[in-house]
Each structure stands twice: as C-alpha cells, then as structure tokens.
Structure 1
Amino acid sequence: MLFRYLVAPLLLSGSLAVNAQAQTTAWQGKQCAVVLTYDDAIDADLDRVIPALDSLQLRGTFYLIGSSPVVARRLGEWRKAAQKGHELGNHALMHPCDGTLPGRSFVTPDNDLSKYTVARAVGEIRATNTLLTAIDGRTRRTFAYPCGDRTIGGVNFYEPLRSDFVAARGVTKGLPTAAQADLTNLACYSINGQSADYMIDLVKQARQTHTLLVFLFHGVGGGHALNVDANAHRQLLRYLKAHERDIWVAPLVEVAERVKAQQTAAAGSAPAR
C-alpha cells in the first residue's frame, strides 16, 4: 500500500512531463508560440510596425488587401518586408464583409459578402494570391477572413481553398494546443486599445499552458479605427524579445506548417479503429 502511494505521484509527474514535452515540441522546443498579425495593409505597417519588428529581429504576418492603394503605391516596400522574413498574407481582393450583420454600416454594395457567390469569393482570393506571389515569390502563405466572416448563403467559402493555403486565421479568442488548433479557423486575440499589461499577460498564459497565441492588430499608433498605442505595442515586442529563449515568435505560415506536421504525425500514429 505504501509503495502505491509513493509510486503514483511519480507516475503522474512523469506523465505530465511527457505531455508538456509533446506540447512544446510543436513550438520548436519552446514553451509556446506567439504570432503577430497585422490586417488591412495600411501605411502604419510600413511606417511604424515593420521598423519596430526589424529593430528587434522579430517577424510578423501582414494581411494585405489586394485592391489596397497602399499595396500598389508601396509595393517595393512590401517586397523588402518579405525579403526580411515577414509573411505577406492574403486578406482577399476587396475585403468583403457580410453587410446583413449588425454593425456593418461600413459595408458597401461592392464589398458586401452576402451578395457574392462562392465562385466569386474564391476567384478574388486566388487572384490576390497571384498578386502576392508576384510581390514576394512565395506560394505558401495563410489567409485571414475579412471581418471574420466565413460563409456565403450558409456555405463555407474556404472549403475550395484549403489546398491554396497552409491555414486561415479567424477572429475568435482562444489559446489552443497544437493538437487543438483548427487550421481552417485559427483563434486569435484582437487588440483595440488594450494595455501592454493585458497583452503580456496573454503571453504569460500561453507560456504556462504551452499553447498558440495569435495577436490581431490593425492600427499601431494610429492609422486605423481599431488601434493600439505604439508604446504598448513596443512593450509587448520587448517582452517577447527578452524571453525569446522560451517563446517562439514567427509568422503564421511557419507556425501553421509546424502545427500541420504535428497533427498529421499524430493522426498517422493513432491506432486504427
């Protein structure tokens, strides 16, 4: 009986250690993965965000709208960002959102997803991939749902696009493990006015739970109705850099490829039923 009481805690601690090791394997052996994503291809990305990331040798994912004038006007700068290791992600050609939903007064008839067909949505997204490849020469990237909208008339328009992307980022909050991560709708935390402490606390939670944390930013220090203070953003970056031994910070395409490999390996080792 005494032997049982002595051995049981040892077995439990060993099991927890193995589980933690399996979770961190997905994150390059580190405690967690953190991905910094920036939507809408705005001037602030090139003027403030990329210089801030480059100064600390951190890399992020920038979701470009194919029709954005900032893409056309500053194409060379986007190309340089990609050459430095940042991901240029796909945020569709026209950033269509479902205008029938509450709070969508900003949606115009031209970019109302509810008036699209699935074929049109797929075609515009693939056209944006062609544009992005012309900029960065890459064929592997991720997609971000404009406004988080995923369906047209009840049909998920991403289904025909699964082979076009490594993964797609949604807008729902969550800190998934590699096994839990839904590569068709990756969870993220949208930042709009929150403090540096709030963002750093999220990173600490991810470290403790060995999970994936994706940040969603728009404006940084201005430039968008959804915004985060530039100093708060800078404090987050400095925290990530100071703890880079324990935190894997990478573009979403790289993290998603790692997650996909882990999930495929796990599925292959699962016993047949």
Structure 2
Amino acid sequence: MIEKLSEVFTRMVDLQVTANLLSYDFVRQAILAAALLGLLAGAIGPLIVSRQMSFAVHGTSELSLTGAAAALLAGIGVGVGAIAGSVVAAVLFGVLGARARQRDSAIAVVLSFGLGLSVLFLWLGPSRAGSKFSLLTGQVVSVGDGGLGLLLACTVGVLVVLAFVYRPLLFASTDPEVAVARGVPVRALSVVFAVLLGITAAFGVQIVGALLVLSLLITPAAAAAQLTASPLRTTLLAIAFAEISAVGGILLSLAPGVPVSTFITAISFAIYVICRLIGTRTRNRRSPIPV
C-alpha cells in the first residue's frame, strides 16, 4: 500500500506527463466542464448553506442516480436522465419540505423510494459495470462536446435565473418568516431554487459522482462562511474555492490516473480545514478578554 501511494505521488508531480495529457481534446473539455461546475457550485453553494439544505443536496444527487440509471436502461443520454432525476427530486423536496421541520423527513421518504428504483434500474440495465460505477464516482473525461454544450447552456441558464431571484431568495433564506410577512413568494422561490439546485447537482454527479457531490456544492461554501459574513464575499470565495478544487483535482489526477473525485474531495476538505482554523483564530482575536 505504501509503495502504491508513493508511486501515485511520484507520478502526480510528473509535469511532463500532465503536459502531454493536456494536449488531448477530451482532457481540455474535462477541465472546462469542471470550471463551469465550479462556477455553478460556488454561486449556489452559499444559499444552500444559509437555507440549511445540505441533506437536500445529498438527496438530490442520489436521486440523479435514479434518472441516470433509467436513462442507461432506456439507452438515452445519461446526462439528460441525471438532470431529469435531479430536477424531479428537487421539486419534490421544495414542495414537500418548504418548512424546515418537514424537510428532513420529506427528503428521507423520497430518497428511500428513489434509491430503490435506482437499484432496480441498474439491475435491469445492460451489464456495463464501468457506466454504472461512474454514476457513483463520476467520469469527467467522458463529458464530450455534447455534454459540454449542455453544461454550458445550463450554466448560463442557472446563473441568469439565480441573478434575477437572488435578492428575494437571500431574504427568504435568512429570515423566511419576515419574508412571508413582506409578501415575498417564499414557496415559489423554494421551488425555483430547488430546480436550480437539481440541475447543478446533476452535473456535479457527472464530475465527482453521486456519492461525493457534496464536496463541490457544500464544502467550498462552508469554507467561505468561516472567513466572512458578507453574502457577496462569501459567494466570490466559494466560487474561487470550488474552482480550485474542481480544476486542481483534475490536473493532479491526470498523471497518476487516480479517480478525479479523490483529489477534488481532498482539496476541498483541505481548504475547509484551513479556513476553519483562520476563522477560529480571527474570532478569538476579536472576542473581548474577560476581566
């Protein structure tokens, strides 16, 4: 095991191999796809954290597996199926769990049913173990031109809608009771946000897999929240951290051939730990010394 890890580290720092691999179109497409996902995840992540919807992200990503497995069974695009599964799940979560006290139970009910369907679809589907495994761990190098175009279109669409509803959505996220009293359509915003979350989670599944999508949608935003309370600065930092994790993870994984999700999760976790230490130290300095 130690020898294997040593070999991985040695190949990881082999810049010549990495440079050679960067000459391939599919590698450059994978990096661009990761950059687009980092932008999406960083923009939407702080709202997920402020709305306390981390479990919803997990449920949405897991149920994108249901849509992808159904697409694999039907012989259509896995990416389209993943988006459909995520959006349907996210809308159900948004409608059934609009109130915080109902959210966890609603997610658990829908999640358990959806995962049961996933098992059935994967069992009925063609015996392509690689395709099935990539639904869990991601397969960014297989994005291709079609998938990249779809990701680009959805990125633009999500960012445009998010910019349009950002202020009322932020208000509804931080103080939903006051927002309702002010006439903000909280339930409608919850459904809109759920759809945006579903689309983002579906593409995250293609990069890091259904099991590890939290590493891009939650961890960068949670790290940014340790450094600042400003919504704008939190979003900008979350985008930067998500880009570093996604693009950096791909670059580090090229030479050793290790799954991309391994490096993405490791980088995002390291960023969170560093930000947590910095934030704790800053707060301790600002806190008054008891007399």
Question: Does the TM-score normalized on the shorter chain lie above 0.5?
Answer: no
Query: 1 or 2, which has the higher strand percentage?
Result: 1
Query: 1 or 2, which has the higher helix percentage?
Result: 2
**TM-score by structure 2 length?**
0.24
